[in-house]
Amino acid sequence: MEQILNYISIGGSFALAISGSLKAMGKKFDPFGILIIAFVTPVGGGTLRDILLTEKSVFWLKETPYIYFIIAGTIMALIFRKRLTYFHNTLMFFDAVGLALYTITGVQIGIDNDLSFINCIILGTLTGAFGGVVRDILVNEVPVIFHKEIYATVSIVGGIFYWALARFNVSNPFLQIAPILFIIAARILITYYKLAFPSIYGKK
């Protein structure tokens, strides 16, 4: 089970690298800049998490496969850049998968470190959703998850769900599969129906 999720997680970095590459190409970055944005989109959140914990070196310094999949994703994006719109739905799906897997990984690491409930959720959301924040800072935009999309909220709710199951000793595979499916489904439905919170600022 762990093994399978690990493979999916590494595979997810491939899809997120493609989506990061597209963002960087939209900003007319050169190949090096594209590679950096492709890199931080999948692993930026987990990097922040590891830095805050200071338990050990950042994960991708030891788990090299992530890096190779990211480089492969970037090369794919560079080659097929004019035809990537055909894969829009596929990318959206993997983006949701990444959000789900990275969120529960982060919450589990919080549990492993005996952190309080709220800090477990924070680590989950950091891991799941803050790669995009690092990406947006590097391309000099206001991070999109702060003002536009219901993205982090899905990670928070899914993280609470996973934490509660773990707390009540629900065992695998249900422990992991239920919140993963919840996050994927919620994220896809929100994107598909273009759902948004009612604005707190009133109408323009």
Q: Which residues bind its own copies (CB under 8 A)?
A: 24-25, 27-33, 36-37, 47, 50-58, 60-61, 64, 67-68, 78, 113, 115-116, 118-119, 122, 133, 137-143, 145-148, 152-153, 156, 197, 199-201
Give the CA distances from residue 6 to residues 9, 19, 39, 102, 169, in Å, rounded to whole numbers and listed in that order. Answer: 5, 20, 18, 10, 22
Of residues 60 and 175, the one with the C-beta less far from its own copies: 60
Q: Which of 40, 9, 10, 6 is nearest to 23 (CA)?
A: 40
CA angle 43, 99, 127 (to 5 degrees): 45
Of residues 144 and 178, the one with the C-beta less far from its own copies: 144
Residues 152, 46: Cα–Cα separation, whole Å: 15
Residues 44, 26: Cα–Cα separation, whole Å: 20
Of residues 26 and 86, the one with the C-beta less far from its own copies: 26
Nearest approach in angstroms of CB 151 to its own copies is 8
Nearest approach in angstroms of CB 22 to its own copies is 13
Of residues 11 and 33, the one with the C-beta less far from its own copies: 33
Residues 157, 179: Cα–Cα separation, whole Å: 9
Nearest approach in angstroms of CB 39 to its own copies is 9
Nearest approach in angstroms of CB 18 to its own copies is 16
Contact 111, 123 (CB under 8 A): no
Of residues 43 and 100, the one with the C-beta less far from its own copies: 43
Q: Which residue has the tokens 């009133």?
A: 202
CA-based end-to-end distance of the chain: 50
